[in-house]
Amino acid sequence: QKEVEQDPGPLSVPEGAIVSLNCTYSNSAFQYFMWYRQYSRKGPELLMYTYSSGNKEDGRFTAQVDKSSKYISLFIRDSQPSDSATYLCAMSLYNQGGKLIFGQGTELSVKP
Amino acid sequence: GAVVSQHPSRVICKSGTSVKIECRSLDFQATTMFWYRQFPKQSLMLMATSNEGSKATYEQGVEKDKFLINHASLTLSTLTVTSAHPEDSSFYICSARGGRDLVREQYFGPGTRLTVT
């Protein structure tokens, strides 16, 4: 079983839709939960960062962490064609010096 | 903002040859750099962690004699793929950690596409 599971998609939505992306994980010791956006043939860029359980909102993006269910989500409101990219969830332990464990990534396409 | 560059962005080499990939932090000093490998439509898999001035720490299953990592300065780390084979063809991405926040101050390079023929 992979430590972090993410549906690879692809996911196609119309412009303006609400997008829901999810990851599950097996290691209950993870404390840091991140979402990265990766455009084709580029490196990932950090979108959202959450420590422990709860919600965090930044503009059109909302990240949720449910540690009891080992489940994290990223919601994108009013999706735009420019949001088309691969979204990777990533997790980290406190004492591992920044080592990140990534999910497989979900490929999102927002159609005009 | 913090910028990490990689060179080359794309390289094609023949089987059996070696290729070196550079990772540079352009506007900050990186005490730690990470090297990842990403196969098509798959996740980033951590290969090794390098700290300036010390030997790299490799993840389980990664051959340290095949993937040589040198972190000679606070702004440069190199990954050398020795005796490359077609199965080494992949997207190699580095990240550099610039501050005390282990995650939020970790910045990724744009990646290097390696094709071994």
At B43-81, the pLDDT tens digits run 899 999 998 888 899 999 999 999 999 988 899 999 999
**B89 near A CB under 8 A:** no
Residues A37, A85 contacting (CB under 8 angstroms): yes
The string of pLDDT tens digits covering residues A60-100 is: 999 999 999 999 999 999 999 999 999 999 999 877 777 89
The token pair at A83 is 């949001």
User: Which residue among A6, A44, A101 sits closest to B108, beta carbon to beta carbon?
Assistant: A44
Instruction: Tell which wins on pLDDT, A3 or A79.
Output: A79
Report helix, strand or coil for B109. Answer: coil
Residues from chain A contacting residue B98 (CB–CB below 8 Å): none
The pair phi, psi for residue B68, each rounded to 5°, is -90, 125
The pair phi, psi for residue B88, each rounded to 5°, is -85, -5
Query: At B26, is the pLDDT very low, low, confident or very high (cuts 50, 70, 90)?
Result: very high
B106/B117 Cα distance (integer angstroms): 33
The pLDDT assigned to B100 comes to 73
Minimal CA–CA distance to A5: which of A51, A72, A77, A64? A72
The token pair at B24 is 């540079």
The token pair at A69 is 């269910």
Give the best residue of B5, B92, B108 to mutate against chain A (max A CB count within 10 A).
B108
User: To the nearest whole percent, how much of chain B has pLDDT over 70?
Assistant: 99
B17/B9 Cα distance (integer angstroms): 18
The token pair at B42 is 């798959």
The pLDDT assigned to A8 comes to 86
Range B43-52 contact pairs with CB under 8 angstroms and sequence separation of 24 or more: B43/A4, B43/A6, B43/A88, B43/A102, B43/A103, B43/A104, B43/A105, B44/A44, B44/A88, B44/A100, B44/A102, B44/B93, B45/A102, B46/A99, B46/A100, B46/A101, B47/B79, B49/A97, B49/A99, B50/B77
The string of pLDDT tens digits covering residues A8-54 is: 889 999 999 999 999 999 999 998 999 999 998 888 999 999 988 88
